[in-house]
Structure 1
Amino acid sequence: MTVGSVRRRTALGLAVLTASGTLALASPGTADAASACSGRKTRTLAFSTGEVRIYRRSGYVCAVTVPKRPGARQWMSVSVRARGGRPVVDEGLFSKRAGPVTVHAGRRQVWVKGAVGRGGVSSGWIRC
């Protein structure tokens, strides 16, 4: 290898690292909630003070409640229940999100609930 090719490869590597670092810093709020659950997002249930994001992957359903105004600690909850089972709940004082909660649903319907402060949402029985 010549000196010129080594410099080109080094410059290319530095450019890739800089670009990936810039993208990681560009949207920290959305990456936090998205990394909590794996799989593909199937639904978003919006309400006055936030939203519940529902994900599905190989028979499992995962849900996260995200507030409209993150930062201050506030009461949040998220619950997922597969038909015929018991609900899995995460609730308390959080600053960024409540959850993730995951339940094995298979092909069954699920009932998802979420709340931030006084606002909340309940899905009823849905198929994700």
Structure 2
Amino acid sequence: MDSGAIRRRVTTLLAVLTASGLLAVAGPAAEAMAAPSSCAGHKVRTYTFSTGSVKIYKSGNYLCAITVPKRPGARQSMMVSLQVRGFEPVVDKGRFTRHAGPVRTYAGHRKVWIKGSVGRGSYDSHGWKRF
């Protein structure tokens, strides 16, 4: 193998390593920006509370919800819950950095009860809501 071929292979290898390094750095930033839109459909309501908000999306007869903190980044206790009247709640609860959820359920024409929390702050619909 002549020195020109070696140089071309080394250059190609360096280009591939540089590109993969750039993708590794840019990947988390792009993912963080896209995370809150993880529900399908269109946003119908946002319920804010002291430490975050619960966002409700609707697609056909399905509802989807996520809880987003006001200050994302640090791992903290979060929860989101959707309960269709007459059924068990669908809940996502844990310690997250960007959002709790999405939780998705078939609502049809039934009313739903919504809950969400981030740290010590929380939202509770305190009644059934129609969407």
TM tier, smaller: 0.7 to 0.9
Q: What is residue 116 of structure 1 aligned with on the other side?
A: 118
Aligned residues: 102
Partners of 2:66 and 2:83 in 1: how far apart?
13
Query: Is 1:94 the equivalent of 2:110?
Result: no
Offset of residue 58 of structure 1: 1.0
Partners of 1:73 and 1:31 in 2: how far apart?
18
Match of 1:45 among 44, 47, 55: 47
Partners of 2:89 and 2:35 in 1: how far apart?
24
Partners of 1:86 and 1:77 in 2: how far apart?
16
Q: What is residue 54 of structure 1 aligned with on the other side?
A: 56
Offset of residue 31 of structure 1: 3.0
Offset of residue 99 of structure 1: 0.1
TM-score of the aligned structures, taking structure 1 as reference length? 0.75
Match of 1:125 among 108, 124, 128: 128
Offset of residue 55 of structure 1: 0.4
Match of 1:31 among 21, 29, 34: 34
CA RMSD after TM alignment: 1.5
Q: Report percent identity of matched pairs.
A: 56
Residue type of the alignment partner of 2:118: V
Residue type of the alignment partner of 2:65: A
Match of 1:81 among 83, 102, 122: 83
* Structure with greater strand share of residues: 1
Unaligned runs of 5+ in 2: 1-28
Match of 1:72 among 71, 74, 83: 74
Offset of residue 96 of structure 1: 0.3
Partners of 1:82 and 1:96 in 2: how far apart?
25
The structure with more radius of gyration:
2
Residue type of the alignment partner of 1:127: R
Partners of 1:46 and 1:27 in 2: how far apart?
25
Partners of 2:128 and 2:111 in 1: how far apart?
6
